[in-house]
């Protein structure tokens, strides 16, 4: 039996599989994996800090400012003057976290009075300002 041309004397096709290229490829792949796996899994041992993932339960206060129809200002149900409102807003702006300001304007209140309250909140440096309204029925 000759290994030269792949055909024997009778002209038949050789039916044996040549395993040499397959073995060569497998050995090369084995060597590549042996070399690369330790490089991939190599890591530096570091003692990492522990962290707690519970959310902070510090909720900001809510201040309700109301403007009556006659222009009277209310700070959480207590009547305040515009000067006293400015002082309370400056104190509230320095708190951490800053309180949320909710403005309730009477339907018949002068629009200018509500704008004055908004300007006072902005001057104090409070970032969260909202309006409270009633839904239409």
The structure's pTM equals: 0.57
pLDDT confidence bin for 4, thresholds 50/70/90: low
Q: Is residue 108 part of a domain?
A: yes
Mean pLDDT across 93-110: 92
What is the largest distance, in Å, between two alpha-carbon atoms of the chain? Answer: 119
Number of domains in the chain: 1
Q: Is 46 contained in some domain?
A: no
CATH of the domain at 75: 3.30.420.270
Q: How confident is the model at residue 57 (pLDDT cuts 50, 70, 90)?
A: confident
- 51 in a domain, yes or no? no
Q: By the 8 A CB rule, do 72 and 104 touch?
A: no
In-domain check, residue 69 = yes
- Residues 6 or more apart in contact with residue 136 via CB below 8 angstroms: none
Residue 86 lies in a domain: yes
Q: Is 136 inside any structural domain? A: no
Residue 107 pLDDT greater than 80, yes or no: yes
Domain span holding position 119: 62-131
């Amino acid at each position: 039996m000759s290994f030269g041309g792949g055909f024997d004397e009778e002209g038949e096709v050789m039916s044996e599989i040549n395993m040499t290229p397959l073995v060569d490829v497998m050995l090369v792949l084995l060597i590549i994996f042996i070399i690369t796996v330790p490089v991939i899994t190599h890591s530096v041992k570091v003692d990492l800090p522990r962290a707690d993932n519970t959310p902070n339960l510090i909720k900001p206060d809510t201040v309700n400012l109301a403007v009556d129809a006659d222009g009277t200002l209310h700070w959480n149900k207590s009547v305040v003057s515009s000067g006293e409102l400015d002082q309370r807003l400056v104190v509230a702006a320095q708190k951490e976290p800053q309180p949320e300001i909710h403005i309730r304007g009477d339907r018949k209140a002068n629009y200018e009075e509500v704008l004055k309250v908004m300007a006072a909140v902005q001057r104090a440096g409070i970032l969260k300002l909202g309006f409270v309204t009633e839904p239409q029925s």
